């Protein structure tokens, strides 16, 4: 008794599971990496278009920074952040970050949808009003 057909079925199931991502993406072109837009009125007004910290840092560590901001504000009562270049910012998610990045859908959400992260901050914090939103 060799049960060849059972083995064949087993191999097919194994291949199906192991190559699932390849099969799933088959025929679809790789989605273009997100390009967060920085064309908000607030940023257009800026002479030197710079974020709170250098872009390379913001891109990777903005969640760490937001966490620090939250802790400083809520737990330590600090309300001013002094950036590495000496500029001062009010510590606030809705009034600082989102004032410049008022296009949440074309900015934050672009990356987050791509990486499938859903920050829960907006359960409480107010999102900036955008077109097409209530």
Q: Binding to ligand HEC by residue 128, rule CB under 6 A?
A: no
Q: Pick from 49, 78, 80, 130: which binds ligand HEC (CB under 6 A)?
A: 49
Q: Which does 7 bind (CB under 5 to 8 A by kind): other proteins, ligand HEC, none?
A: other proteins
Q: Binding to ligand HEC by residue 113, rule CB under 6 A?
A: no
Q: Pick from 44, 45, 48, 56: which binds other proteins (CB under 8 A)?
A: 56
Name the token pair of 93.
């998610």
Name the token pair of 18.
């192991």
C-alpha radius of gyration, the chain, whole number: 23
Residue 28: other Cβ atoms inside 10 A:
7
Q: Binding to ligand HEC by residue 70, rule CB under 6 A?
A: yes
């Amino acid at each position: 008794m060799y049960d060849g057909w059972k083995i064949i079925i087993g191999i097919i199931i194994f291949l199906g599971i192991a190559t699932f991502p390849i099969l799933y993406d088959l025929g679809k072109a790789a989605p273009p990496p997100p390009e967060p837009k920085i064309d908000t009125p607030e940023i257009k007004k800026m002479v030197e278009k710079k974020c709170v910290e250098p872009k390379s840092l913001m891109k990777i560590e903005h969640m760490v920074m937001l966490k620090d901001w939250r802790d400083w504000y809520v737990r330590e009562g600090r309300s001013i952040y002094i950036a590495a270049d000496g500029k001062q910012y009010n510590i606030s998610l809705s009034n600082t970050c989102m004032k410049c990045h008022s296009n949440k859908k074309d900015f934050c959400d672009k990356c987050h949808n791509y990486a499938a992260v859903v920050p829960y901050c907006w359960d409480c914090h107010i999102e900036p009003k955008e077109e097409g939103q209530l």
